[in-house]
Amino acid sequence: MTIRELLHNLRERLIPSMSDLAQSEAEAIIEQTLNITKALLYINAPKIVDKTDLKRIEQIMERRLRGEPLQYIFGKAFFYDREFFIDENVLIPRPDTETLVEAVINTEKDDIARFIDIGTGSGILAAVLTAHRPGWTAVAIDVSYKALKTAARNCSNGNIHILCCDMFGAIKPEKQFDFIVGNPPYISSAQMAGLDKSVVNYEPHTALRGGDDGLDYYRTISSQAKMYLKDSGRLYLEIGYDQGVSVPKIFTDDDWKDIAIIKDLGDRNRVVLIKF
């Protein structure tokens, strides 16, 4: 079978479950397995695919057709400007979270800063932010030790300290951080039931579930963050598209004053920026 025939075969089999994405996923499966770029895939289209590669591709297709996301199958995902290691212990990075990265980079002007990444998961926020601002140092926290093993692979630039604890539990309340970033679990119990099967069956529920109304972690952050932030510190938190009123209310009730909502590329509420 040639690469061209293989591409056609994979696309046709993927169309029923993923329609528009079938072509790009078929390409990705071939690119990853043969370790070639998209350009080479098309240049080499008339070439014959060898048997071992075909076998590996069949194994990948079996998993993909059962619903497993390609990012877990390949153990990597693209976020912001680079590829990250991921596995079943961490969420697949979402493009929505890039809005949070942009908000921090566009707002924080100081060359030197210390920040907390609360609920770091795969470590993408700490990794991207410290890569773009080499004078920044991060404490990346997660309650999941397994998630942090993956984060450690992504956060090796020397400016990130990784800490396993529940919320701020292991940080001294000494007001030493310039800002806090986080993408906490924010899915409500009702929404959990309606999530896509590829999410429910494969992604870690502890990284998604935000309690009954989805707001548990915002309540904890709102009541505790001032003990860790400097007096002029900032909070940058991802929120669900439908939490643009409920999350700010939690912070207003706790006397936080300056609260702004930032929209994502789809024009949905996505980030709260809160100043002390």
- Residue with tokens 């619903």, as numbered in its chain: 67
**Among the candidate windows 24-32, 56-64, 132-140, 185-193, which touches ligand GLN by CB under 6 A?**
185-193
Q: Label residue 123 left, alpha or beta by phi (over 0 means left) and psi (-120 to 50 means alpha).
A: left
By the rule CB under 6 A, 185 interacts with ligand GLN: yes
Q: x/- binding map, residues 225-244, to ligand GLN, per CB under 6 A?
A: -------------x------
CB of 36 to ligand GLN, least distance (A): 31
**Among the candidate windows 74-82, 138-146, 181-189, 225-233, which touches ligand GLN by CB under 6 A?**
181-189
Alpha helices in 195-243 (DSSP H): 197-200, 216-224
**Among the candidate windows 28-36, 139-147, 182-190, 218-226, which touches ligand GLN by CB under 6 A?**
182-190
Distance in angstroms (rounded) separating the CA atoms of residues 77 and 264: 20
CB neighbourhood size of 109 (10 A): 7
By the rule CB under 6 A, 183 interacts with ligand GLN: yes
Identify residue 232 by its one-letter amino acid code.
S
CA triple 232-220-225, angle to 5 deg? 15
Distance in angstroms (rounded) separating the CA atoms of residues 110 and 178: 10
Residue closer to ligand GLN, measured from CB, 121 or 248:
121
CB of 145 to ligand GLN, least distance (A): 19
Among the listed residues 143, 163, 167, 199, the single contact to ligand GLN using CB under 6 A = 199
